[in-house]
Amino acid sequence: MSLSDRQARILEFIDAYVQEHNYPPTIREIGKAVGISSTSVVKYNLERLQEKKKLERSKEVSRGLRLVKPAPGNGDAGGAGMRLVRVPKLGLISAGQPIAAAGQQDNPYADDTLTLTADLVPDRANLYALRVQGDSMIDALVHDGDWVIIEHRETAERGDMIVAWIEDKEETTLKYYHPEGATVRLQPANPAYQPIYVPAAQLQVQGKVLAIVRQLA
Amino acid sequence: MSLSDRQARILEFIDAYVQEHNYPPTIREIGKAVGISSTSVVKYNLERLQEKKKLERSKEVSRGLRLVKPAPGNGDAGGAGMRLVRVPKLGLISAGQPIAAAGQQDNPYADDTLTLTADLVPDRANLYALRVQGDSMIDALVHDGDWVIIEHRETAERGDMIVAWIEDKEETTLKYYHPEGATVRLQPANPAYQPIYVPAAQLQVQGKVLAIVRQLA
DNA sequence: ATTATACATGAACGTTTGTTCGTTGTCAAG
DNA sequence: CTTGACAACGAACAAACGTTCATGTATAAT
């Protein structure tokens, strides 16, 4: 009376498919996914699954099926209650220009957002994400294309990694913030690089770096 | 630029229909509900709605349409349906030792997992996360404490960033994979570093790096 | 008047997709 | 050795469903 291996896989597939597309798969799609060559066999198994109250079907309706109780299998499982944080993509960051900061007109990402889990990034206001352009921040161990998650701030605390604008150099940089009297030591994340020293008056804190995300594949 | 009366009703109908059936309506069903006699008019209006980013369609797929999530202000509202991927934390990665790979006994993170959103990492099996220990992988622009998300694999494709075990050196490294005949060129992510060349026989692919996550705060 | 644009119509067409049916192989009961 | 349920196959069919096209309407701009 329990599910055959095939039937379990069918259920799983339907669940995943619906999650991805927002509409159910066809019989043929199910067949291909589960390794059934004949549509009639899929239909046969769907009927068994109906008998077992695992799903419902509308006759002669394409994609007319729904899971009775969406299997919590893999997808968002225990993470059901996981909180999410939506961080707006505000544009690019490269060495030669101040960042747009909070004002966000004309950014190339419209109102696109990066969604992250709350255990990665705190759910505060004033968060935004910038995409790193070029290799100019390699001393911060940041790669071209990385996303930098920033909390907008005008001040920083010792040891924070900050987005700094150095006025006389006209340069944006990511460094660890170490105030030392009237000057500030900016320490690269990469220990192979030397720190730089900037008069506090020349340094403008634009934000605090909360996280960096690199997507390879 | 705003919605015509008809388009608003179409949207409403689709929403209600999905609510009731768990799958989207056909063009003809929409037509009948909104009082449009011709399927092509429905198609026309659906195209307008797509331009206005109100819904998405899969071409030539019956019922292949979904409403674009209504903007969720701030909370997580619309993000509610965001799929999550749970990646098990399998241990540490440092230069001097092969990684535990798929077998995960004795790892210090019990069955702790890293939860990421599905748009960051594909929801495949064989994923795991390793915490980088030490600065030995700085040439990969990876920092001490970073999380590396890996798909377990024994083979790689040209250009993948891989987790490589070099047998004679007894060393684990993260590099871009470039096979060149009988040797393999391993290219660091940091262009300031030189590639290394390893006989293919000495190289063992342990996995493919999918993403890197660095949490600062 | 003329042209352009947005919207609407309905028939025709072609693909997608569910259903039916004749067969086959397996396995346990009679 | 049958018998019959269960599961599966693949071809053929028909209904469901999206797309295309030729043709009309309005309304506003030229």
| ipTM attached to this prediction | 0.54
Does A39 touch chain B if contact means CB atoms closer than 8 Å?
no
* B202 CB burial (10 A radius; 0-12, 13-18, 19+): middle
| Nucleotides on chain C within 7 angstroms of protein Cβ | 7-12, 15-22
CB A173 within 8 A of CB A189: no
Distance, in Å, from the CA atom of A161 to the CA atom of A174, rounded to the nearest integer, reads 7
pLDDT of residue B3: 67
Q: How do the domains of chain B map onto residue ranges?
A: 5-67, 82-213
Query: SS3 of A36, please?
Result: coil
Measuring CA to CA, which residue among A158, A161, A165 is closest to residue A198?
A: A165
pLDDT of residue A203: 93
CATH 2.10.109.10 fits A82-213, yes or no: yes
Ranges of chain B whose pLDDT falls below 50: 71-80, 101-106
Question: Shortest CA–C1' contact from A37: which nucleotide?
Answer: D9
pLDDT of residue B44: 92
pLDDT of residue B66: 84
Active site residue A175: yes
Q: Which one-letter amino acid corresponds to residue A89? A: K
Distant-in-sequence, close-in-space partners of A2: CB < 8 Å, separation ≥ 6: none
Measure, in angstroms, how far nucleotide C13 C1' is from residue B31 CA. 20
- DSSP secondary structure code for residue B50 in this structure: H
Determine the protein residue whose CA lies at the shortest distance from the C1' of C9. Answer: B38
CATH 1.10.3720.10 fits A5-77, yes or no: no
Chain A residues in contact with B58 (beta carbon < 8 A): 21
Query: Which CATH architecture describes the domain B5-67?
Result: Orthogonal Bundle (1.10)
Ranges of chain A whose pLDDT falls below 50: 70-80, 101-106
Ordered DSSP codes for B59-112:
TT-TT-EEEPPPP--SSSGGGGG--EEEEEEEEEE-TTS---TT--TT-TTTT-
Distance, in Å, from the CA atom of B102 to the CA atom of B151, rounded to the nearest integer, reads 10
